Structure 1
């Protein structure tokens, strides 16, 4: 029998995987998205779909054709998300086709995603406007399945990647629209960058937009901007190149903040919305 697993917290569980920032976005930001890949030869070379969420918040399911779908927003045990979802894949492969994995059972030898997935071809994300990917192509689409799918689709907040701003996502949250940008950067550096730009009145993406805060998730910092109603992903894309250039230049600046920038930083921190 395997000994108890190590529950130490891993701050960057997806580190070393291609598209780490989009995996974090799938865990934290995006309602419906998938990445299609496969397990390594050692684990059978079976097709795997990494998804945002599955019905019943299952960690994984084995489809009728033997492939596996993993729900990255599921609640899983332990301090290492990568190990938990690696174990979810192992458990799914041991199930009969058509069976879900209702809970992850960690062991000392549970593999991580980095050990299980074949990633030489990259991990390309596809954002969806429905949960149609839930439906097993080989299973019957009963009226109950169709009704559940419609109900879930009605709750999706429209979300789209922003062309020209890698790992950034526009979302229509109802009363407001937001831009959320997953950055491999320390949160203090991000706030410093915003302060440098704010001192020059350039911290927004465009007129009418406003930086409102940031949070950390799986080792990434995710700053958030409020957007005017109707701005849309297209509005962000229109200004993406100029905004990306000035923001990354500010982010890479290592000079101490000026008096004006420190004053701007103080105001940003005092007004910042807590998004943790």
Structure 2
């Protein structure tokens, strides 16, 4: 490793409140915000974490003084937490109305776990528009309105599922899906899903488990739902599914032959996002 380079971190958001939601907002939720705050050492400043900013900016010091930190940006190093901390600290230093357009290649230094107050809950709000990019009192010219409308056109219908953490329903075209970011180690989740899949118990709500994303050291299983299923119809089925899913995750028995075959099939269908 080159001198002064940042070491690779498999789970960059480990230790932050709501680690699965950090991953979900970074990878599978198109438009959302969440709450955070820097520590007293870094000014106890409120931070609005967002999925994306215009032109893939890493951060923005909005005209009204609000700091926005974007997750859906390309990582410069092997540690997304370090990259985001660099963008956040730069945003704290610039004048309101200034965007952090690039951060370059960070050297070792403070990570989000060092910069953020870890007692502040990471409370997610799914958004239907990117209008929050602008301060409320900013004059909205025709160009600004057009830019927001253009960005909004790319938002797929997404909603959190009540009664469970880090689970997001979405509609893509004529199909509906559930993407559920898991807080457990990848191998634990894969073994649990394999146990259920081998017994044909991995689906719910007349839907089927179809694969998973892996990102930032966590797994995001994906279910294709029965056609027309709405987000508010999932709370009951997930509550019914959760006990057997939890039991499968907690099992320490070695996988049998059928479960090992099921697991191999799951791995073949994974999508590694980054």
Same topology, TM > 0.5: yes
Match in the other structure for 1:53: 52
Give distance in 2, aligned partners of 1:145 and 1:264.
Answer: 50
1:250, distance to aligned residue in structure 2 (A): 1.1
Tell me if structure 2 keeps the 8 A contact 1:87–1:106.
Answer: no
Match in the other structure for 1:91: 90
Match of 2:229 among 231, 238, 260: 231
Give distance in 1, aligned partners of 2:122 and 2:177.
Answer: 25
Match of 2:254 among 253, 256, 268: 256
User: Which consecutive residues of structure 1, in runs of 5 or more, have no partner in the other structure?
Assistant: none
1:4, distance to aligned residue in structure 2 (A): 6.5
Match of 2:220 among 206, 219, 222: 222
- Mapping 1:200-211, distance limit 5 Å: 200-207=199-206, 209-211=207-209
Change (3 A) 1:253 1:40: same
Give distance in 2, aligned partners of 1:4 and 1:96.
Answer: 33
Post-superposition Cα deviations, 1:141-177, rounded to whole Å, max 9, x if no partner, equal 1111111111211210111111122111111121421
1:264, distance to aligned residue in structure 2 (A): 4.4
Post-superposition Cα deviations, 1:107-130, rounded to whole Å, max 9, x if no partner, equal 546421112222323221111122
1:5, distance to aligned residue in structure 2 (A): 4.1
Larger deviation: 192-201 or 151-160? Answer: 192-201
Match in the other structure for 1:165: 164
- Mapping 1:137-156, distance limit 5 Å: 137-156=136-155
Post-superposition Cα deviations, 1:76-116, rounded to whole Å, max 9, x if no partner, equal 31111111111111111221210100101455464211122
Please tell me whether residue 67 in structure 1 is matched to residue 63 in structure 2: no
Larger deviation: 75-84 or 102-111? Answer: 102-111
Match in the other structure for 1:112: 111
Tell me if structure 1 keeps the 8 A contact 2:35–2:121.
Answer: no
Please give the TM-score of this superposition, normalised by the length of structure 2: 0.91
Tell me if structure 1 keeps the 8 A contact 2:176–2:224.
Answer: yes
Give distance in 2, aligned partners of 1:121 and 1:93.
Answer: 18
Match in the other structure for 1:103: 102
Tell me if structure 2 keeps the 8 A contact 1:185–1:220.
Answer: yes
What is the RMSD computed on CA atoms of the aligned residues?
2.1
Larger deviation: 32-41 or 148-157? Answer: 32-41
Structure 2 residue matching 1:140: 3-state secondary structure:
coil
Give distance in 2, aligned partners of 1:14 and 1:57.
Answer: 20
